[in-house]
A and B are shown apart, each in its own frame.
Chain A
Amino acid sequence: MKLVIALIAGMLFGGGLVVSGMTDTAKVQGWLDVFGAWDPTLAFVMGGAMIPMAIAWVLTKGRSPMTGGNFPAPPEPKLGRNLIVGSVIFGMGWALAGLCPGPSIAAISFGGTSLWIFLVAMGAGMFVAPRVRAMMDA
């Protein structure tokens, strides 16, 4: 059952990414290009996604997940250096190619060689990240 739910959730996410235009790197780079031809689409995507998600968080109160277990613990209040440094590094890469992890997976079937090069590099980055984090903490 968990797997079916995961598949359905993934399909909604992937479908939403394509419909919203977030697999088009020009739209993402357009959103970040505040000094150029600014494209506000991403704000509508984020806003739209907040609505079902905010309702879902309210529904978690006093309940358990459908398939058992527990809901995630409340968010940690502590920010920490890793959150800031990591987000800045991510933002730089996000702007360079106009891709973040979700859309890079959603575009696998039509992104061609360029997308695969990005994916392999992203995988390599994720693979070394625990070591980078350990170096930062040292």
Chain B
Amino acid sequence: MENIAFQIDWLYGLIGGLFIGLGGAVFLLGNGRIMGASGLIGGLVDGSGWSNAAERIAFLAGVVIMPIIVLQFWDRSETNITDNVVQLVAAGLLVGVGTRIANGCTSGHGVCGISRLSLRGIVATVFYIMAGGLTMALFRAVLGWI
């Protein structure tokens, strides 16, 4: 049963991935911008990106709107997100600080960086996946907390 679920999941992953890459391609070829979620949000938060705030807000509006449309046809609303406040706050702070110090996240370094064979993108991706894997191992396999 689980095997069947995975067989479908990888296909959804691939199709969804193609759309993610298409979004990045449109943003790059259309506006000359790199589609990095942490940079687009972070620039609005710390003020460094207010000179092109409208473009950032338009992009983020699209990110919010499309899932609302998709969910009308396909209930894909399961997030399995924890309700442990300490865990959520710690995770949010780490993701916020880390992506801004590294100047990129899964979309900027991962999708946009690796696809142009950027050494920085590749190294960043190796390190956040390794750090994530070790954190999961510690908190799930060893401590059994998450």
Residues on A close to B: CB < 8 A? 2-27, 29, 32-36, 39-57, 59-60, 64-72, 75-79, 82-102, 104-115, 117-130, 132-133, 136
Contacts and interface: CB of A to CB of B under 8 A. Distances in A.
A49 B98 contact: no
A100 B55 CA distance: 21
Contacts of A24: 78-80
Contact of A6 (B10, B13, B31, B128): B31
A83 B103 contact: yes
A4 B31 CA distance: 10
A126 B41 contact: yes
Contact of B132 (A27, A52, A91, A110): A91
A85 B99 CA distance: 10
B90 to A, nearest CB: 6
Interface in B55-88: 55-56, 58-71, 76-83, 85, 87-88
B120 A129 contact: no
A32 B59 CA distance: 28
29 contacts: A8-B30, A8-B62, A10-B60, A11-B62, A13-B23, A15-B70, A18-B16, A23-B76, A32-B129, A36-B140, A39-B9, A45-B20, A69-B31, A79-B119, A84-B102, A93-B90, A97-B87, A98-B80, A101-B106, A105-B37, A105-B64, A107-B67, A112-B79, A114-B88, A121-B91, A121-B93, A122-B95, A123-B45, A133-B101
Interface of B: 6, 9-35, 37-38, 41-42, 45-46, 48, 54-56, 58-71, 76-83, 85, 87-103, 105-107, 109-116, 118-121, 123-125, 127-133, 135-137, 139-141, 146
Nearest to B128: A91
| Chain A interface helix/strand/loop/mixed | helix
In this complex, which of B71, B118, B128 has the most chain A Cβ atoms within 10 angstroms of its Cβ?
A: B128
Nearest to B124: A87
A25 B80 contact: yes
A124 B128 CA distance: 20
